[in-house]
Each structure stands twice: as C-alpha cells, then as structure tokens.
Amino acid sequence: MPDLDFWYSIGSTYSFLTIMRLDDWCSEHDASVTWRPFNVRTVMSQQKNIPFAGKPVKSAYMWRDIERRAAKYHMHAQLPAPYPISDLALANQVALLGMEEGWGKNFTQILYRIWFEEGVEAGSETALSEALHRSQQDPRLILSRARSPDIVAALEAETLRAIKLGIFGAPSLVVGNEVFWGDDRLDDALSWARVGHVI
Amino acid sequence: MPDLDFWYSIGSTYSFLTIMRLDDWCSEHDASVTWRPFNVRTVMSQQKNIPFAGKPVKSAYMWRDIERRAAKYHMHAQLPAPYPISDLALANQVALLGMEEGWGKNFTQILYRIWFEEGVEAGSETALSEALHRSQQDPRLILSRARSPDIVAALEAETLRAIKLGIFGAPSLVVGNEVFWGDDRLDDALSWARVGHVI
C-alpha cells in the first residue's frame, strides 16, 4: 500500500478540496496517507510567497477554480469563504493535538465544513469550539491544551520539518523526498509512490 | 468541435508543457484551439504577481514539477532552462506576426525546443533568429517587422484583451468567459467547452 504524507494547513483554501475528498480517494486507490498539519503562514512569510493578498484578479480566479472543482467532486461550498483566517497557528495547534489523540482528521474535516459550507471563519474561537464540540471534544479544555508551550513547539517543529522537505505551500503530498504541491497533484504523488515516476 | 483560446506567452515556463502537447491533445479530443500570444510580463507586473523571482524554493519546485510532467508526456527537456528570458515582448511580437501569416504556431514550438531542449534563452536574437530560420522565415526581415509600431501595438492590444478576460498568468485556456489557468487545467477547459461544467 503506497504511503504518503499529506501536509496541510487549516487556513489554506485549496486544501478544502483535498481534505474533503482524501478519504474516498484513499479507499479508491488503496493508499494510506498520514495527515500532518503545519503552519503554512510561517513558511510563506519566510519565503515572501504571498499568492493572493493584494491580487484581486488571481484571488477571484482561485475562488472560481475551487468552485468548479468542488462541483466536479460533488462538494457543497458557499464561496468565497471568509479569507484569510485569523488565528491560523491556533487552528493547526488544535489539529496537531488531535492527530496525537486520534480525532485530528475528523476535527479538520468538520472545521472545513464549518468554514466552507457554513461560512464561519476557521481560525475563530466560534468555529474551533463548534468543530471540537462536534468532534466529541471539550472545547475549553482542548483550546487551553492547544495553547500550551508543548503544542506550540510541536507545531513549530512540524513546520520546520516541512521547510526542510522543500514545502512552500499547502496542500502538499510528500513521498520520500518528492514534494507534490496542490490538490491537482494527488495522482502524480500516488503514481510516484507506486512506480517512481508520474504516469 | 469545442472551440478554445490558448493564451500563452513565450517566456512562461509551464507553457512549454502545453505548447509541446497541444497538437496531439487536440487530435485526441477532436478540439480546436486558437493560439494567442500576449505579454504575460505586462499583466503580472501590473498585478504585482511575481511567482518565482526571489523565491528559490518555489522556483526549484517549479523545475522539478515540469521535469516530472515532461517525462509523463515523453518530452525531452534540459532543465532548468535559462530563466527569465530577456526580450519577452519581442519574442511574442514575432509569434503574433507569425499567427497573422500562418507560421506562428510552428515558430513557437520550434523556439520552445531551442529554449528547453538546446538551452538557448528564448528572448535572445540568437534563439529568435534560429527559430525563424527553421520556420523558413527570413530572420532579419521578420525581426524588423516584429519591431514595427503596428506589431508592438497589436501585442499590446492582445494583452489588454487578456487582462479584460481576467487572465493573470500563462498558459491560460479560455472558453467564453471562463478562464482556466495552467497546463493542468486543459481537461477542465475542454469539459467546460463541451458540457458547461468540469467533469
């Protein structure tokens, strides 16, 4: 079974497509994917990679492209979703804590639904609390633990690992040392994992 | 037969993939595509869209991604090709003149081969002259005509049309008012032309 790392950041718009379809895609292709939240804002600020802020034409295209592709995948979405999100670090700290405890993937999928289907900004305490609640977690307790120095440091460490791999944006699929950026590169990554080239 | 406009700029790296495979792709899908050179540098400068300059990690990824996808399409390429190119406007003025006279597509394909296979920078007089020569055109005559006010103005007019369509980068496929950006959106564009949504 091919083994891939899915590096994502809550706050990334195109990650919506991947987060919503990845489970089905894994079943269909008999693939196994490890979900790895990181702080894409740290990475992109460091690399002066500002794809949408101050770029209205490219931003409008991004939403239209997501809309067309969401329809292709039969996903419901109210677009544009609130963007950018406020507390990107906190959202991903919660996700990382959840990964350690086994509820992180479910939480991420629910939070993206709240963000993209219900229009509540994903870095807000409202959205985070609601997503935790729907994940059968105690929002007050989890938000407090997600803010602890341990989890803050853990997300920073994962972000450093992402940078060392050559990641510059989200979502990214990684197979060994090969980075595949974008929801539209899932099949390339799988092909690489299986046969060592893109077919 | 679906009708699409292929907006490209000599100087765009990802356009290599589309320029090299578009004829086969059209035959395979029974599609008809109009090639429309424009000045992507004007558009991107205006929109402060600087995807690679000063971004070594993203640039390295771009070359690797093109390399993997070129192999997928069985294209030969010596990467990285010299980038950015020098006289982007002149190269596309030549291409536009060639489109008016029926040799523009062939010239573009030959010039990309010289740039990506032989490593000669595509905006240089060396590359342009050689590509014109191989296209059975007189380099001195054509380069002089390509620099005339008429052709300069014609490329600027096409670039303005691209901007009005919402184009922000190259390559772009356009179907009616729908813009599809990137070599990886060819199939989305075709599907839109055929059935009005992405399948």
Instruction: For helices A125-134 and A88-101, give the axis angle rounded to 10 degrees.
Output: 20
Q: For the domain that residue A86 is a member of, what is the CATH number?
A: 3.40.30.10
Interval B130-144 mean pLDDT: 98
Looking at the structure of chain A, the number of domains it has is 1
> For chain B, what is the mean pLDDT?
95
In terms of DSSP bridges, do strands B3-8 and B32-37 run parallel, antiparallel, or are they unpaired? parallel
Question: Are the C-beta atoms of residues B179 and B171 closer than 8 Å to each other?
Answer: no
Instruction: Count Cβ atoms within 10 A of the Cβ of residue A24 and give its class: 0-12 exposed, 13-18 middle, 19 or more buried.
Output: exposed
Interval A144-155 mean pLDDT: 98
pLDDT at B199 over 90: yes
Interval B10-30 mean pLDDT: 97
| pLDDT in the model for residue B1 | 67
By C-alpha distance, the chain B residue nearest A198 is: B72
Question: Are the C-beta atoms of residues A140 and A151 closer than 8 Å to each other?
Answer: no
Question: Are the C-beta atoms of residues A171 and A14 closer than 8 Å to each other?
Answer: yes
Half-sphere exposure (Cβ direction) of A180: Cα atoms closer than 13 Å:
24
Q: Which residues of B touch A199 (CB under 8 A)?
A: 72
- ipTM, 2 dp: 0.93
Interval A124-150 mean pLDDT: 98
| pLDDT in the model for residue A50 | 78
| pLDDT in the model for residue A47 | 81
Q: Of B16, B6, B17, B8, nearest to B38 (Cα)?
A: B8
Interval A27-55 mean pLDDT: 89
Give the count of Cβ contacts less than 8 A between chain A and B.
Answer: 69
| pLDDT in the model for residue B123 | 97
Q: Which residue of A49, A65, A197 is in closest CB contact with B55? A: A49
Q: Which residues of B touch A190 (CB under 8 A)?
A: none
Q: Is B164 on the interface with A (CB under 8 A)?
A: no
Report how far residue A145's alpha carbon sits from residue A93's, in angstroms, rounded to the nearest whole number. 9
| pLDDT in the model for residue A1 | 67
Q: Are residues A47 and B65, on separate chains, in Cβ contact within 8 Å?
A: no
Phi and psi angles of residue B6, each rounded to the nearest 5 degrees, phi first: -105, 100
pLDDT digits (tens, 9 = 90+) for A71-129: 999 999 999 999 999 999 999 999 999 999 999 999 999 999 999 999 999 999 999 99
Interval B121-144 mean pLDDT: 98
Strand partners of residue B173: B6, B180
pLDDT at B2 over 80: no
| pLDDT in the model for residue A27 | 97
**For chain A, percent of residues with pLDDT exceeding 70:** 99
Catalytic choice (A12, A15, A124, A172): A12
Interval B89-95 mean pLDDT: 98
User: For residue B2, is the peptide bond before it cis, meaning its omega torsion is within 30 degrees of 0?
Assistant: no
Sign of CA dihedral B167, B169, B173, B179: negative
Query: What domain range includes position A87?
Result: 3-195
Report how far residue B11's alpha carbon sits from residue B108's, in angstroms, rounded to the nearest whole number. 11
Least confident of A50-59, A170-179, B169-178: A50-59
Least confident of A50-59, A65-74, B60-69: A50-59
Phi and psi angles of residue B180, each rounded to the nearest 5 degrees, phi first: -125, 115
Report how far residue A31's alpha carbon sits from residue A4's, in angstroms, rounded to the nearest whole number. 8
pLDDT digits (tens, 9 = 90+) for B27-71: 999 999 999 999 999 988 888 777 777 888 999 999 999 999 999
| pLDDT in the model for residue B25 | 97
By C-alpha distance, the chain A residue nearest B47 is: A55
